[in-house]
Structures are given as C-alpha cells and as structure tokens.
Structure 1
Amino acid sequence: MKEVITLIKEQIQNLPIMFRVSKYQDKSDYQSHYLGIVWAYLYPIIQILIYWLVFGVGLKKGTSGSVDYLTWMVIGITPWFYMNSVTLDASKSIYQQVGMVSKMKFPVSVLPSIKILTNLSSFWAMLACSIILGYLKGGVLPNLYWIQWLYYFFAMICWLLAFGIFNSTVTILVRDYRIFLQSIMRVLFYMSGVLFNFETNAFPAFFVRFLQLNPFFYIVSGFRESMLGEAWFWQKPMLMLIFWLTVLFFLLVGSHLHYKFRARFVDYI
C-alpha cells in the first residue's frame, strides 16, 4: 500500500508537467498530416459508421431494446474507444520514452497517466457527439441520472491508471506482452457490450454475469445506464465491489512491480 500512495503522490505532484507534455504530444502526433489533429476525431467517427452499417444495418445483429441502435452503440463505443486507446498507448509509454526520462528529474510512473490526458480531447468530442446524436435520433433528453457520469468517469480514470501502470511495467519485463494485450483488447471489444446488448433475455444469465466481471463492461454499461436513465450505480453493489477490487488488485501489483524494477528499466530495454 505504501507503493500505491507513492504512485498517487507522483501523479498529483507532476500534474502541471503531465498536462504540458500531453498538449505537446497532441500536436506532434498529427503535425505531418494535412488535417492535423482533426484525425483524432475523424477516425473514431469513421469506425462508428462502419460498425453501424455492418451490425446495425447489414447483419441486423445489434440489439438495443427500445432505443435506436445507432444511439445505443455510440453511447457505449465512446468510452470504449477512449479506454482502448489509453490502454494500448500506456502499455508502451515507458518502453518508448524511458531513455529520455532517465536523463531528467521526471518520475517514470507518470508516463502512462500522460496517455490518459492525451486522449481526453477526442473523448470529450465523442461524448458531445453522442449526446447530440442521442437527442436528434433517439430522443434522449437530459435527466437526473446524468449526474453519475462523474462517478463512472472517475472510475474509468482509476481503472486506466491501475491497468496502465501494470501493463507498462510488464511490457518492459516481457516484450511479447504487448502483442498479447492487443489480442486481448480485440476480444474484449466484442465481449464488453459495445456492439451487442448482452443484458437481455436472449443470452444465458450465467454468461451475462461472467461478462459483467469485466471492468470495461462495467464502464461501458455504466455510461449507457447514465445517459438513458436506467439505473443508479449503487443499485448494483456486487458489481461495484468487484470492479473496485479489480482496480485495487492491478494498482497494488502494478505499483509493486513498477517500483521494484524501475531502477533497471533501461537495462531491460
């Protein structure tokens, strides 16, 4: 637990630097492109249109209850795109920049967190689009449940921090891990309720309960329940407990591995 406290202190103390670096990375990543940072918003929109055409129109496999499928999908795919990008970017954050950081007074532990901040701009843009689309196409209006977006956003950041520090450290120790993680994230995309509404009578109850153990499923489902006004987060206490225990587990293990091997990161690379 001491290592977790140290990790959190490093994040808080270096917030100004993290914001500056994330702003610089936003510009540098797209400076050679004609459309520049517009691609950060355009690419997810193109992906959404493809999934909608394939699953919502073509195969007609998307089920969303009484809500328009495109609206239902966009609400869930918005946090997924963000979590997927942060997870993969954070996993290679230390590996790519540890050489530079080792020469500066800059804690390596903040590198995964910088990826959390770097991807926030596209997340806010997509969230705004999902709200507008929900109103225009699905007739979704603001409701009291929207307040709990604050909870699910906080839960999402905590999960990404814990999972990010774990993945970034293991990637240094086991080089093949990142390839394995990419494969796992592809599977989780279909198993996190992004395209299909598993919480219906069409799927076995034991299968749904198994999927609900997935932290990504918890966040995606939570954003939908908030926007569509379906349930409060405290109405599922067992799922909430499992989620936070999972966050704590990865935070404890990730922090321990990070501080145990941090002095030798350059040697491993």
Structure 2
Amino acid sequence: MIKDLFSFVRDIYRNKRLVLQFSINDFKARYAGSFFGIFWAFINPLVTVLTYWFVFGYGIKAGLTDGKYPFIVFLITGIVPWFFFSDSLTSATNVFREYTYLVKKVVFNIRILPTTKILANLYTHLFFIFITLIICILNGFTPTLQTVQLLYYLFCLGAFLTGLTWITASIQPFLPDVMQFISIILQTVMWTLPVLWSPSQFSPRVVQFLKLNPLYYVIQGYRESFLSEGWFWEHWALGLYFWIFTLGMLLVGSIIFKRLKPHFSDVL
C-alpha cells in the first residue's frame, strides 16, 4: 500500500514539467472556443460571490457573521477555497474520459492526469486569493505573518484533492453517473461547511459533528489565515485528524487506480 502511494508521488514529481505544461494547456483549452476566453474562469465565480453577497448580505441579513466582520469579508474568505475544491473535483473526476486517447496509449503515464486538472484550477484560485487579500485590506484586515499560512492550507487542500480525485477519476470510467452523484453531494456539503455560517451560531456538540468533514479544517484555516486570527498548530487535534484522513484517502486512491487502470481501455 505504502509502496503504491510512493510510486504515485514519485511519478508526479518526475513528470513535473509535463504536469505543468498539461495544466497550462488545459486551462487555455477550456475556454478556447468562447468569445471572452479565459475570462470566463474568473467571471463565473465573481457572479456567484456577488449573488451571495447581495442575497445574504443585504437581503436576508441573517446575522451569519455575528457582526464580527463585514459580510463580504466573511463570505469571500470561506468561499474561495470552496470554489477551488468543487471545480477541481468535478474536472479531475472526468479526466480519464476526457483524455481517452492518452489513456489508450501504453507509453503515457496517465497517473499524472488528475493532478494536471487540479493544477489547472490553481491558476484561477491564486487570482482569487489575491482579490480576497485586497478586499480584506480595504476592510481593515492587513496581512500579517499569519497570512503566510495560506500556503500550508493550500497544500492541505491539494493533498486532499489528490487522494479524492484518484478515487473518483478511477471509478468514473466504470460508473459515468458518478458525476451526477458528485454534483448533488457538493450542493449538500457546502452548507455543512463554515462558508456562509459561523461556528459560533451552533452548539459545541453540533460543531464537533461538522468537524468530521476534513474540509472544515481547510475552510476555517483559510479564513483564519486571511484575517490573521491564529496559527495552524493551535488546532493540532483537528489537523492530526485531517492528515490521517487524507493519507488514508491517498492510500486507498492509489490502490483503486492500480487495480482499475488495466481495464480503462475496455470501458472508454
């Protein structure tokens, strides 16, 4: 099991230049046929943020932030990592079917394909991290040394996505409906994460239950990093749980891929 995982990581590292080039090409090709091109990668998330800001910040006014932050600051610091997660998961899950011609090439190492999708979505994510920092500064939240922790939580999210997409991408050729399941699950999971609500709104027992979702650690970590509210080691127990869960998923993902890979050509 451990050997399979190390083999995966080694292959990605050895092919890092190819991964980078593939991700750039994928990012460009995604909007190549449209009039506005790659601007759609930024327009869609911006419209979503503005919609939530209007509905919850000015419409419902449900007191989601307990008045501690301007709603736009609270919203964007939580929703930016969620955009990266959801976009990467949906695109990487379908990667083997999208690159069928590469899957059928014996000489091409298809292990790297899910990673290229994650990296392709990273370019948009970095742009929104920059925008979020500007919004925080305009609202009086100046970056500090704690803001550098964004790199750590970005690594956490990348590792989690890698393990998860190894699983979903390997299953998708045999179960095409997995994309529909993921779409439904994503709609539900988002509301269980501190994206549009604050943990202080719930009882400690409810919050402990919600923390079972490993993404809770990442979303809350992003927000605390943007707002300089603490260090990641202050949540050592939650961090330990996250990494145990993530490493387990990486191991399972590497095994599933290894066992299903020989049959990809038969079903694609």
How large is the Cα RMSD of the aligned pairs? 1.3
Q: Name the amino acid aligned to 1:110.
A: I
User: Which one is further off, 235-244 or 101-110?
Assistant: 101-110
Give matches, 1:138-217, under 5 Å.
Answer: 138-197=139-198, 199-200=199-200, 202-217=201-216
CA contact (8 A) 1:62 1:195 kept: no
Structure 1 stretches (4+) deviating beyond 3 angstroms? none
User: Which one is further off, 234-243 or 61-70?
Assistant: 61-70
Equivalent in the alignment of 2:16: 15
Q: Name the amino acid aligned to 2:78.
A: G
Q: Is it true that 1:236 corresponds to 2:235 in the alignment?
A: yes
Task: Give the C-alpha shift of residue 104 in structure 1.
Answer: 5.4
Structure 1 unmatched ranges of 5 or more: none
Structure 2 unmatched ranges of 5 or more: none
Distance 2:215 2:100 in 1: 28
Distance 1:165 1:55 in 2: 36
Task: Give the C-alpha shift of residue 2 in structure 1.
Answer: 0.8
Alignment CA distance shift 1:62-1:43 (3 Å): farther
Distance 1:40 1:176 in 2: 25
State the aligned residue count.
Answer: 266
Taking structure 1 as the reference length, the TM-score comes to 0.95
Q: Is it true that 1:30 corresponds to 2:31 in the alignment?
A: yes
Candidates 82, 98, 101, aligned match of 1:99: 101
Equivalent in the alignment of 2:41: 40
Q: Is it true that 1:58 corresponds to 2:59 in the alignment?
A: yes
Distance 1:85 1:105 in 2: 29
Q: Is it true that 1:227 corresponds to 2:226 in the alignment?
A: yes
Residue-by-residue CA offset, 1:43-66 (whole Å, 9 max, x unaligned): 111110001111111111252241
Distance 1:28 1:203 in 2: 44
Residue-by-residue CA offset, 1:110-133 (whole Å, 9 max, x unaligned): 111011111111111111111111
Distance 1:125 1:252 in 2: 31
Alignment CA distance shift 1:213-1:262 (3 Å): same
Residue-by-residue CA offset, 1:133-154 (whole Å, 9 max, x unaligned): 1111x21101121121121111
CA contact (8 A) 1:98 1:108 kept: no
Taking structure 2 as the reference length, the TM-score comes to 0.95
Question: In percent, how many aligned pairs have the same letter?
Answer: 30
Give matches, 1:72-83, under 5 Å.
Answer: 72-83=74-85
Secondary structure at 1:94 match in 2: helix
Distance 2:32 2:254 in 1: 34
Distance 2:62 2:171 in 1: 37
